[in-house]
Chains A and B, each alone.
Chain A
């Protein structure tokens, strides 16, 4: 099977679009939230909204780890790189997200800080071994997808006895974010459930949202045909007044997920009592930190990283956009002072954010006002 071509087949896409038109009840509206930035990106990148009927509206969720990281944590990372003279390593699109002083890691690098882009924690290991005289910090971010590799890194640091490498942990949990969204006044009829995250945690953790008062969830892959098929399945579930979790992404997701990866995460990490999410505020038990047994590898402890609270521009509508209450164009900042080149709010900072996706791929298009 050719993974790229086969899951982007135009003929099958048209067939799914036709099927969606057939099953969508013209007498009602469907507000579907795709949780993951990867889905948001696929929808925007392939123009999938053009294939959906007018009464099906996609709401772009908060599943973009770069977007939801609060500015205070970015300020912390910048301070680590600038004030503690460490080599700070992180994933690429984290590099240009601005902190509270309109500065970013990429700017800090131009001012002399040693900030390195890595593709995998294994790269960090090599950097630490190659520079034994320098302290190296891995600025670890992401949902459950990127957490097991960080856990592996922690084990490797121990196994190799490295004393110059620590973790600035910002890993967050998907189910907590979905809980946070549903806690407010939201009109969401169902979720296109996380893709890569679900390959790790499986389908079962979403059951709590899919109970009698909950919303149906269909876990979907990131390819455009995956997304279309999941939308079709979700509409059918909604029509049957059914909740519960279904899996469209059966080629990768097992009900219990990747049990070895889960065991690895549980060995190394524990829940934080609370953690701030950009756009969603503080959410209880929504993020991970290193267990006490690994406290010596925790950069927050090694470098006395302070808690910094930094608020977004008060005119920023990201909190409402993340909950599907507003559309990016409803925000006064959108496209005026807030653009992908100069992002002000969480939804604009990565190409996976709702505002960045609409600006980059869809700004020629009028939003579906009928159901806004």
Chain B
């Protein structure tokens, strides 16, 4: 069955919120607008990073941050903008070295808040062992921005020889997630205006470079690492299924999800598998090395709740399929547009 999606209307269409939702609409925007314009062999790999030849193999990644609210339980846009890019670089197994930071500020934004954000960025960068080496600031009129937008670009150096990429994945490989899923998205949503439920859930925002370095060191059979940010674990696994030409088989009972996150998702009509994470990675690894990799991750503070959640399988449809906790089966799909709560 071939799905025909209408093409983007490049003449009269406008940017919609769904284009940033991490679902198919965003993928379509990339495929039809950015990729044709910027296409080059590095970008066309469509990873979260681009490696380029230098003295050593270098890696580069960029990430824009537009989060609302700017301050949320467990973090703020400042540390998030460092972690996001550090993680994209680290997913290649590279050691992150340098960051650039570009700010778009809205007229009238309180300097005190900006100071808090910049301090948080500096602390996050120091903790991650990266330097912010270049930057830029623009200000837009009041009403033309949402307080502050931050784009960071990161460069790292690859010091290992493990070939990583979706093309390395084989049927039977195991899928490991480094900890509880959905924490960031729920922490942020619980603070959004208009949502009157309180939770103690903290964002998981964190730099994962130590965890990725440990994975490289421990598991020669490591195939690929990805951080499941927007679109959640579901989007990342669907991307990997399509890119590898295989299918994914998940076991719902093994998914690490905090009860509070489950409860909040229940209230909001959301699926934790579609909710964003900012301090988790998914690693796909040969069956032989999987137990070792899991044990290594669990020994690190950022991986103590790591779990083996499924495996890759031959599947001409590239479906991500899950055995539910009740013993049935279902597809775990991409998000359709923005994740919107159901009515009843």
Chain A contacts for B331, CB-based, 8 A: 360-364
Chain A contacts for B263, CB-based, 8 A: 4
Chain A contacts for B196, CB-based, 8 A: 119
Q: For B328, give its contact among A51, A66, A341, A360 (CB under 8 Å).
A: A51
Interface string of A45-87 (1 = CB under 8 A from B): 1111111000000000000011000000000000000000000
Chain A contacts for B328, CB-based, 8 A: 46-51
Interface string of A33-49 (1 = CB under 8 A from B): 00011100100111111
Chain A contacts for B266, CB-based, 8 A: 4
Number of contact residues on A: which range applies? Answer: 35 or more
Known: A342-B6, A360-B336. A92 touches B342 (CB 8 A): yes
Interface string of B315-344 (1 = CB under 8 A from A): 001010101111111110100111011111
B195, CB-defined interface residue at 8 Å: yes
Interface residues of B in 248-298 (CB under 8 A from A): 253, 259, 262-263, 266, 269, 271
Q: For A93, give its contact among B1, B17, B323, B343 (CB under 8 Å).
A: B343
A345, CB-defined interface residue at 8 Å: no
Most chain B CB atoms below 10 A, which of A5, A47, A91, A337 = A47
* Least distance between A96 CB and chain B CB atoms (Å): 6
Judge whether A146 and B344 touch: CB under 8 Å.
yes
Known: A10-B253, A336-B4. A45 touches B340 (CB 8 A): no
Judge whether A47 and B317 touch: CB under 8 Å.
no
B168, CB-defined interface residue at 8 Å: no
Judge whether A340 and B327 touch: CB under 8 Å.
no
How many residue pairs between the two chains, A and B, have CB atoms under 8 Å in the bound complex?
137
Nearest A-chain residue to B194, judged by Cβ: A123
Judge whether A10 and B333 touch: CB under 8 Å.
no
Cα–Cα distance between A232 and B11 once the two chains are bound (Å): 55
Judge whether A143 and B344 touch: CB under 8 Å.
yes
Chain B contacts for A339, CB-based, 8 A: 3, 5, 336
Judge whether B14 and A111 touch: CB under 8 Å.
yes
Nearest A-chain residue to B320, judged by Cβ: A364
Nearest B-chain residue to A336, judged by Cβ: B4
Q: For B340, give its contact among A92, A107, A111, A363 (CB under 8 Å).
A: A92
Chain A contacts for B111, CB-based, 8 A: none
Judge whether B16 and A46 touch: CB under 8 Å.
no
Chain B contacts for A110, CB-based, 8 A: 14-17
Interface residues of chain A, those whose CB is within 8 Å of chain B, are 2, 4-5, 8, 10, 13-14, 17, 36-38, 41, 44-51, 65-66, 91-96, 106-107, 109-111, 117-119, 123, 141-143, 145-146, 196, 224, 335-337, 339-342, 350-352, 359-365
Can you list 12 A-B contacts (CB < 8 A)?
A8-B325, A13-B326, A37-B344, A47-B323, A47-B324, A48-B326, A95-B340, A119-B196, A336-B4, A341-B336, A350-B343, A364-B317
